[in-house]
């Protein structure tokens, strides 16, 4: 299976369990790895035979900016489901970064990574 990756998609969302997170929002980053067969697109040099990663990026940002959820696990799953709606995408790995998570000790990042597939 071939891979198409999008790294560092950035959007502001209002996800989290604390009122301040819901009210003020924060920046989330998303990394995606889409699993699909790119051979038909490559053979015909045809965008219609692969995944349009520009559209996927817009949809992922819309999910992050959309309805708030408590957990980034839930957010990651919603992103994965949006990606799997694209014909040809057989699996997706989603990594959601929450670099401004409300943690009281110094840290660089918090991430949740999930893998979902059609099977």
What are the average pLDDT values for consecutive 10-residue runs of the chain, which has 119 residues?
A: 98 97 97 98 96 98 98 98 97 98 96 94
The token pair at 29 is 């980053």
**Contact in structure between 103 and 30 (CB atoms under 8 Å):** no
Catalytic-role residue among 10, 20, 85, 98? 98
Q: How many CB atoms lie within 10 A of CB 103?
A: 9
Would you state the pLDDT for residue 9?
A: 98
Would you state the pLDDT for residue 14?
A: 98
98 catalytic residue (yes or no): yes
Q: For residue 92, what is the DSSP state?
A: E
Would you state the pLDDT for residue 119?
A: 74
Would you state the pLDDT for residue 79?
A: 98
Q: If you count them, how many residues does the chain have?
A: 119
pTM of the model: 0.95
Can you tell me whether residue 36 is helix, strand or coil?
A: strand
Would you state the pLDDT for residue 89?
A: 98
Would you state the pLDDT for residue 73?
A: 98
């Amino acid at each position: 299976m071939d891979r198409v990756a999008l790294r560092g998609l950035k959007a502001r969302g209002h996800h989290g369990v604390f009122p301040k997170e819901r009210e003020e929002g924060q920046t989330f980053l998303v990394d995606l790895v889409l699993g699909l067969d790119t051979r038909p697109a490559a053979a015909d040099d045809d965008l219609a035979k692969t995944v349009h990663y520009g559209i996927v990026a817009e949809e992922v940002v819309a999910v992050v900016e959309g309805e708030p959820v408590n957990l980034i696990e839930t957010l990651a799953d919603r992103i994965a489901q949006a990606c799997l709606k694209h014909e040809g995408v057989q699996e997706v790995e989603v990594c959601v970064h929450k670099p401004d998570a409300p943690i009281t000790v110094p840290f660089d990042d918090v991430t949740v990574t999930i893998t979902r597939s059609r099977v």
